Structure 1
């Protein structure tokens, strides 16, 4: 399996730059090996999602498992539960669902058919996200979690975005952009307060933010191409 087939120059540069930053942090700042592995596999995962490639899920299995453990050690219980109890099993479901919904037009370059969210769908999604975030923040506060407001919103929006991803909606990337901004803030505050050395987590989420913007642009293009090919 050649995962780098059909990669653009931007994608290769993007991955190379953030990989080099992670390597520097690992050796210069004494970053943890687990954090390094989680960050690298996470970056491979998200760029493959942006390209609509099913192989993203194989790297996602490694990333979600390692990230769940790292989050737990920092008291970010929302992040830990999200990755260990939701994201990890979802990877296997994603492999199954995306394999069932491949495109026939291989010349376009993507593996799956892209869908778009309606205006009514956005309204329902926003209302559900607000209510769920408030409830989950209360729960995290009860169990002594850290940064519960940021943690709860990031977790809820991540779940919604992941569901949209499984359903192959391009609008998942709008939510991923918000999630990545919240997660960068969450880890920056946590690392500064605890004095932790897993700065690769901050690099990883910054890479995710860049990729989410690119992913949204790419999936809109994919959607337009597929609609044009169907006419």
Structure 2
């Protein structure tokens, strides 16, 4: 009981209310917009995967905002769930590959890295920083090249999936998926290196995924994206304040 109380005290009232609001809305949407059978898979199974994805994602995002290394452990559940969703629905193959070969290894490496950069005052926090202008330009160029090349290759894959009945939408989704995967990779690297700009990358990735979810009729996942946008703003502000405070302290010393 004592450990539970300590765990709950770790989160502010706003953070608790934010998390519970997303959970409530996602359950409500699950009843309002039930999933139909897809490729022989019962719609209820797909809905359960969606809910697990939402609950684990919002928990992970909240822990990142609090600069907690434990977000990477929760993130592993997110990755496994999203791989299962991509396979069942036969879509977002770029995201599937990036999740399998990039995000799972980067989560493990990031956990170790963050553990080595604890704040000297509060060990529950990890020291974070910001990106230089030159680094930002290089990242943007890399994302554009990846989007064009990988997006084109994805349009050549012919697999019966959730949006295969709409060729134009499917092609658009291929490029959106490619861009989202590229921004996601940048996001993963930023998180590994503890850069504040990971929140900006997450804004962009969330916007791209919102468009894909609408095209695929995945209305319940829009609740998750609403959670992303609000928490990303919250996280960006918290990290910025932390960096500014550390900069002042460093100058005074």
TM-score, L = length of structure 2: 0.82
Residues 1:205 and 2:220 are matched in the alignment: no
What corresponds to 2:101 in structure 1?
A: 85
> Which runs of 5 or more residues in structure 2 are unaligned?
36-46, 160-169
* DSSP 3-state at the match of 1:24: helix
CA distance in 2, matches of 1:23, 1:70: 18
* DSSP 3-state at the match of 2:127: coil
What corresponds to 2:144 in structure 1?
A: 130
What corresponds to 1:94 in structure 2?
A: 110
**8 Å contact kept, 1:22–1:203:** yes
What corresponds to 1:195 in structure 2?
A: none
**8 Å contact kept, 1:38–1:66:** yes
Deviation at 1:27, TM superposition (A): 4.1
Correspondence list, 1:31-110, <5 A? 32-74=47-89, 75-106=91-122
Which shows bigger deviation, 136-145 or 10-19?
A: 136-145
What corresponds to 1:114 in structure 2?
A: 128
What corresponds to 2:243 in structure 1?
A: 223
Deviations 1:152-203 (A, max 9, x none): 1111011001101110001111111011011111111112xxxxxx533222
Number of equivalent positions? 223
Which one has a bigger Cα radius of gyration? Answer: 2
Which shows bigger deviation, 66-75 or 113-122?
A: 66-75
CA distance in 2, matches of 1:124, 1:57: 26
**8 Å contact kept, 1:3–1:55:** no
Q: What is the root-mean-square deviation in Å for CA atoms of aligned residues?
A: 1.9
Which shows bigger deviation, 207-216 or 21-30?
A: 21-30
Match of 2:183 among 157, 177, 187: 157
> Which runs of 5 or more residues in structure 1 are unaligned?
192-197
CA distance in 2, matches of 1:69, 1:204: 17
Deviation at 1:45, TM superposition (A): 0.2
What corresponds to 2:165 in structure 1?
A: none
CA distance in 2, matches of 1:103, 1:210: 26
User: In the superposition, relative to structure 1, how do residues 57 and 4 fare at CA in structure 2: closer, same or farther (>3 Å)?
Assistant: farther
Deviation at 1:3, TM superposition (A): 4.5
**8 Å contact kept, 1:113–1:226:** no
User: In the superposition, relative to structure 1, how do residues 37 and 178 fare at CA in structure 2: closer, same or farther (>3 Å)?
Assistant: same
TM-score, L = length of structure 1: 0.89
